[in-house]
Chain A
Amino acid sequence: MTRRGPRRRAIPAALAALLVLGVLGCASGPGRADGASGPGTATSPAAGDAVAGELVVLAAASLQGTFTELAAVFEEAHPGVTVTLSFGGSSALARQLLAGAPADLFAAASAATMADAAEVTEDPVVFARNTLEIAVPPGNPGAVSGLADLADPARLIALCAVEVPCGAASARVLEVAGLAPAPDTYEADVTATLTKVVLGEVDAALVYRTDVLAAGDAVESIPFPEAVAAVNDYPVAVLTDAPNPAAARAFVALLLGNEARAVLVAAGFAGG
């Protein structure tokens, strides 16, 4: 007990020190976006950086796995920062941001939904790309072999609603292939669509490659050549009213770096 006491007090003290450094960093005027490079900050990265406090990230549902992992990487690199992640449908998140949801960073599953939030964001940058695959329940009970089977009314098919990014991409792919889809349901987001496959309620669904990988053995996937017609860009942007822009920019830098690239590629994304 006597040994732990002082250490416990030492942690808040260190946090306070980082917070002070952060404030100094923010006060150092132009150039603070690069972290500790401002002339007023005499700290080296090893001693701590200008990034501290809470970082709130709103991200597309399909980024749940990768962003959870990357947030841990980020917190390790910047011990003064707590990353709070909130996942949801991109369009719903854009709507929340327009309605004034407090956040620092927004990562969307399509350029279109990012554009919806343009009023409240700085310029976005693409950090990843995602393609569609056909997901089927294990064993492929509907004997689905390609995109054409999604136009078969006899099979139970789930697609994302065209109003959300995965649905827009699905519609594009089917249009390019010259197919009129015969879905039995239009789901509100890609997660719900995949769930219908995992539960075996449908014979096939169009979802992102990353969702198929994340689902593991719960689904099988059938890649199809037409998928190249609808590659989804994933843009990220710092919000203009971000309470913690320094941390937000640092997170963007992480996203565009090699470490994040490896995590994203392992999850099935193509690099940005």
Chain B
Amino acid sequence: MPALAGAALLITPLAALVAAAPWADLPRLATSPEVVQALGLSLRTATVATAACMLVGVPLGWVLARGDLPGLGVLRALVTVPLVLPPVVGGVALLMLLGRRGLLGRHLDAWFGVTLPFTPAAVVVAQAFVALPFLVVSVEGTLRATDPAVEDAAATLGAGRWYVVRRVTLPRVAPGIAAGAVLCFARALGEFGATLTFAGSFPGTTRTMPLAIALALERDPDAAVALSLVLVALSLAVLVALRGRWVGGVRA
């Protein structure tokens, strides 16, 4: 029963969304230039954000799981802070660091004439900020669950350090990394608060799907429902496809 209640809590609102959908207008609403533009931007930025997260998140998860540095506990707590931080606060924090008057941003502006806010790069940074912890936690958890003795054994048998990583550790943690990457991508795709605060909202440049949906809600709730359905369908497709291919494939 509790399992049923849990599933109902997650699924019934989506069912209501489907029920409320303006099906007759859906094709027109879902293929309008604004939607195509917002969707394209969302997919591009979330992909880049996920790639960037993989690049830095896997090593970070590794360090957290296997490292023996002092202060690792504090680091672990700090990198998971964005999980509990309201994304809007994350956006403000990013402005304080990378905004035109931010700690780092003012130098970027003065030295290179680069201002990050209001650019697609800012969207990527905002998405990476909120999505990275999902990947890190996932990678760290998987690494902790794998026995380092197998790696030691490989090393004892004469395998080099990089060889062990490549042929022993990575294949064993790949499902965890893949699951983390999927979560990370999904979170980046749904990112709203930090993006709006840090990157702003301009069609084609920074207005991702969630921002377009929130704006449509101000004017035309039907359109907002239609856009939400497009995003839900897309997220579902991505989650199902990636999980099937990566996670399932590695296990097989």
Contacts and interface: CB of A to CB of B under 8 A. Distances in A.
Nearest to A189: B218
A184 interface: yes
A200 B96 CA distance: 11
Interface in B180-233: 196-197, 199-203, 205-207, 214-219, 221
Interface stretch (A35-43, A56-64, A157-165): A157-165
Contacts of A192: 196-197
A185 B218 contact: no
Interface string A158-176: 1001011000000000000
Given A201-B95, A201-B101, A201-B117, A184 B202 contact: yes
Interface stretch (A5-13, A88-96, A143-151): A88-96
A188 B95 contact: no
A187 B200 CA distance: 7
A185 B219 contact: no
Interface range for A: 20 to 34
Q: Which 4 A-B pairs have the closest CB atoms?
A: A185-B200, A163-B218, A184-B118, A200-B101
A218 interface: no
A78 interface: no
B200 A184 contact: yes
8 contacts: A91-B219, A92-B217, A92-B218, A95-B217, A156-B118, A187-B200, A188-B201, A199-B101
A32 interface: no
A157 to B, nearest CB: 10
Nearest to B117: A201
Interface range for B: 20 to 34
B102 to A, nearest CB: 9
Given A185-B206, A187-B200, A200 B218 contact: no
A22 interface: no
A183 B207 CA distance: 13
Interface of B: 95, 99-101, 115, 117-118, 196-197, 199-203, 205-207, 214-219, 221
Contact of B202 (A164, A186, A200): A186
A129 to B, nearest CB: 22
Given A199-B101, A200-B100, A161 B201 contact: yes
If over half of A's interface residues share one DSSP class (helix, strand or loop), that class is named, otherwise mixed; here it is loop
Contacts of A196: 200
A156 to B, nearest CB: 7
A192 B199 CA distance: 12
Contact of B218 (A91, A156, A184): A91
Contacts of A184: 118, 200, 202, 205
Interface in A188-227: 188, 192, 196, 199-201
Contacts of B196: 188, 192
Contacts of A164: 218
Nearest to A163: B218
Contacts of B117: 185, 201
A18 B225 CA distance: 46
Contacts of B217: 92, 95
Contacts of A199: 95, 99, 101
Contacts of A89: 218
Given A184-B205, A201-B117, 7 more contacts: A161-B201, A184-B202, A186-B201, A188-B218, A196-B200, A199-B95, A201-B100
